[in-house]
Chains A and B, each alone.
Chain A
Amino acid sequence: MSTLTWHEVGAYAIAAAIYLAHLVGLRRSAETAGKVMLGVGLALHFADIGVRCYHGVNPISSTPEAMSLAAFLIALVYLITSLRYPLTAVGAFAVPAVVALILLARLAPAEASVPAMGRLGQAHILLATLGVAVFAFAAALAIVYLFQDRSLKRKQLDRAETRGTPLETLDRLAHRCVSIGFPVFTLAIVTGAIWVARLGLLHGQGTLRPEYLIAVGTWVAFAVLIIARVGAGWRGRRAAWLTLGGFGGTALVVAAYFIRHAV
Chain B
Amino acid sequence: MGGASIDLLLVGVSHRTAPVAVRERLAVEPDAVPTALAELTALAPVREAVMISTCNRVELYAAVDDADRAAAGLAEVLARRAGVAVGDLAEHLYQHRDAAAVRHLFRVASSLDSLVVGEPQILGQTKQAYEAAVQHGTAGAVLRTCFEEGAFRVARRVRRETAIARNPVSVSSVAVDFARQVVGDFALRHVLIVGAGKMSELAARTLRTHGATLTVINRTRARADELAKRFGAAVADWNDLRGALTAADIVIASTGAQRPVLTLELIKDVRKARRGRPLCLLDIGVPRDVDPSAGELADIYLFDIDALQHQASAHRAEREEEAAEAETVVEEELGRFVKRWRSRQLGPMVSALQAHFQTIARAEVQRVSGGVDEKEKKARFDLMESAIKKLLHLPMTALREADPDEVLSMVQAAQRLFSLSPVAAVPAEDALTVNAEKKAAGS
Contact = CB atoms under 8 A, between A and B. Distances in A.
Contact of A167 (B160, B182, B307): B182
Main secondary structure of the interface of B (DSSP, over half): helix
A233 B276 contact: yes
23 contacts: A28-B163, A29-B160, A148-B181, A152-B178, A157-B174, A157-B181, A157-B311, A158-B167, A165-B184, A166-B181, A166-B185, A167-B301, A169-B184, A232-B275, A233-B274, A233-B276, A235-B275, A235-B277, A235-B299, A236-B278, A236-B298, A237-B299, A238-B276
Nearest to B298: A237
A166 B303 CA distance: 16
Interface in A208-263: 229, 232-239
A170 B160 CA distance: 27
A237 B278 CA distance: 10
A25 to B, nearest CB: 11
B183 interface: yes
Main secondary structure of the interface of A (DSSP, over half): helix
Interface in B81-119: none
Interface in B150-191: 160, 163, 167, 174, 177-178, 180-185
Interface string A133-174: 000000000000000100011010110001101111100000
Given A155-B303, A232-B275, 8 more contacts: A152-B181, A168-B278, A233-B274, A234-B276, A235-B278, A236-B276, A236-B298, A238-B276
A5 B160 CA distance: 35
A156 to B, nearest CB: 9
B177 A168 contact: no
B94 to A, nearest CB: 34
B295 interface: yes
A167 B276 contact: no
B303 A167 contact: no
A168 B298 contact: no
Nearest to B297: A153
A167 B167 contact: no
Contacts of B303: 155
Nearest to A237: B298
Contacts of B314: 158
Contact of A166 (B180, B307, B311): B180
A153 B183 contact: no
B182 A168 contact: yes
Interface string B184-222: 110000000000000000000000000000000000000
A153 B301 contact: yes
B182 A152 contact: yes
Contacts of B167: 157-158
A119 B14 CA distance: 78
A261 to B, nearest CB: 41
Given A153-B301, A155-B303, A157-B177, A233 B275 contact: yes
A177 to B, nearest CB: 18
Contacts of A168: 182-184, 278
B293 to A, nearest CB: 12
Interface string A37-58: 0000000000000000000000
B307 A162 contact: no
A229 B276 CA distance: 9
A162 B181 contact: yes
B190 to A, nearest CB: 13
Contacts of B274: 233
